[in-house]
Amino acid sequence: MKVTPSVGFLIQLTAAILLLVGTSGAQSKTPQEGVFQSRFADHEIALSSDPDSPFWKDAQPVYLQSDIKGQPLPRFRTTVRSRWTQNYLYFLFECPFEDLYLKPNPDTAHETYELWNWNVAEVFIGSDFKNIKRYREFEISPQGEWIDLDVDISKPHHEKGWVWNSGFEHVANINRSSHVWYAALRIPFSALDTFTPKPSTNFRVNLFRTEGPPAATKEIVWRPTMSDTFHVPERFGVLKLTK
């Protein structure tokens, strides 16, 4: 016997289908776990650490909110954004702080060796998905000191890579009234690889920052390394260039 669906049933079915489609669309816009999207910009800017500028407002953030072993650190939840142009890759860190540990007599004109012994924000990034032990490291302090390294952790003293020079640019400032410090980086793509960047290009990446003096240091990370060091490339996520 042929059964004709009721009008009420058809309305409910249509509503259910529309809800499913809408939910699917919303899920597709949700960032993938371990994927950091860097949105294209068609022009360069004067490098700025202002998160309210239109350049940074259009960037989708990721958050550093746990320590290296994956334990939550909600008080130090750090926002990181990225943009890219034909020539450069940009990053912006927003770092809430309680107790900054800063190097006396900062030198912002020259590279600071062993800057990692003080509070910094760090980008580890590599383009080689086969030899994952090779990547670049970029650090900037709240005072604007900096260091860049060509890292090969297969070597016993990979910190010697600091003699490499990427030509990256950087700005930093501390807002002591709001207890947030900011750091922006502009990295030439030519310092990362020889290919021409395009949408869907991927890099291996991890993001870090440190907070407080040695006796009470907090190590805040994007992708927990599950180790006592930041240098665990197997735990890196992916930076994806998008349009």
Domain boundaries, the chain: 32-242
| Predicted pLDDT of residue 36 | 98
Q: Tens of pLDDT along 158-175?
A: 888 999 999 999 999 999
Q: Identify the weakest region by mean pLDDT among 2-6, 144-148, 187-191, 196-200.
A: 2-6
Q: What is the mean pLDDT of residues 114-127?
A: 98
CA distance 95 to 51: 11
Cβ atoms of 80 and 63 within 8 Å: the answer is yes
Q: Strands, E, within the chain: which ranges?
A: 35-40, 62-64, 78-84, 88-96, 121-126, 134-140, 146-152, 169-175, 180-188, 202-211, 218-221, 237-242
Class of domain 32-242: mainly beta
What's the confidence (pLDDT) of residue 32? Answer: 79
d(CA 130, CA 233): 11
What's the average model confidence in pLDDT over 207-219?
A: 98
| Average pLDDT over every residue of 196-200 | 96
If you average pLDDT over every residue of the chain, what do you get?
A: 90
